[in-house]
Amino acid sequence: MEYRKLGQTGVDVSVICLGTMTWGSQNSEAEAHAQLDYALDHGVNFIDTAEGYPVTPVAAETTGKTEEYIGSWIAGRGRRDDFVLASKVAGPSRDPIRKFRGGNNHLDRRNIELAVDGSLQRLRTDYIDLYQVHWPDRKVPVFGARGLSDLADPVDAAPIEETLKTLSDLVRAGKVRHIGVSNETPWGVSEYLRLARERGWTRIASIQNAYNLLNRQFEVGLSEFALREQVGLLAYSPLAGGNLTGKYLGGVIPAGSRRAVAHQFVRYDAPKQAEASARYVAIAHAFGLDPATLALAFVNAQAFVTANIIGATSLDQLRVAVASADVTLPPEALTAIERVHAELPDPCP
């Protein structure tokens, strides 16, 4: 397993980060514990979760289950110091099913402090290594939206200044060790960095955004921040919701798959997605690789990537994902990938 620095924190994290978004819905508590055991036993020391998980599918009665499963594993195994634990505070709810803290959950001091205390209780730990803002409070193009045509922020949106000051205070209090952002834009990242520099507040260590062969938008703008400012990418959705495995080609929807249970993930329902996915799958087969391995190894190879957040609903899927850390794609495969990208750039932004 390869390890990389988490921003400027001095913390080493595995290039493969274990994502947990399905635990509590598609995965049982026993299955979650088995994944944690396997991951840590094979060099993974980075676990990512959120107060809003699971989301496959979204359901009010399961929200928070993922953190509870991690907490019961920590209580039973006693291995808290063996890994870096990341979680997230949810911004204003964008779905009608879940209402965090009564639905008025802007990224202000009250909400962030309530959120972190709730996560600590569910996780059964007294600190979170990396605490992230799950998505911005202001209006931004997230989860597949493209561009910003007007400034229509909610009138009660919390400014980044209040969000960062609160997060910095949590670090000083010892509840949180490091902080990061998710689903952010170049402007948002620059604001967090500017305020930290000018006010002496805690600096963000990471950016968790989508990045995969079907969506390489991070390379435009944010990759320079990642490299120059040492605020690396924690890449989520490296398999583009499973599309890059090839299992959905031909319109097939396997029972129990994400497409079968989580209908809110529409960013990969794009006109050119199937064509691009088929071509990437063909490249994998031409080089004797599992399509998932090709897609994951591509993400692992990027200099601006700190960690690749993989998700699995079975141990077989987890084994493939963890093993991708040891795969180096041949130059000819990378050339073939770039040829497809040039012809079908970012079909699923």
CB distance 20 to 47 below 8 Å: yes
Q: How many Å apart are CA 275 and CA 277, to the nearest integer?
A: 6
CB distance 289 to 282 below 8 Å: no
Instruction: With CA atoms as reference, report the closest residue to 219 among 111, 321, 303.
Output: 303
CB distance 233 to 205 below 8 Å: no
CB distance 55 to 262 below 8 Å: yes
DSSP 48-89: E--TT---TT--TTTTTHHHHHHHHHHHHH--GGGSEEEEEE
Instruction: State the DSSP code for 106.
Output: -
- What residues act catalytically? 53
Q: Is 214 left (phi over 0), alpha (psi -120 to 50) or beta?
A: alpha
Instruction: State the DSSP code for 8.
Output: T
- Measured between alpha carbons, how far is residue 51 from residues 96, 123, 183, 236, 270 in Å? 17, 10, 16, 16, 29
Instruction: With CA atoms as reference, report the closest residue to 47 among 80, 17, 10, 7.
Output: 17
Which amino acid would we find at residue 188? G
Q: How many Å apart are CA 259 and CA 256, to the nearest integer?
A: 8
Using DSSP, state whether 5 is helix, strand or coil.
strand
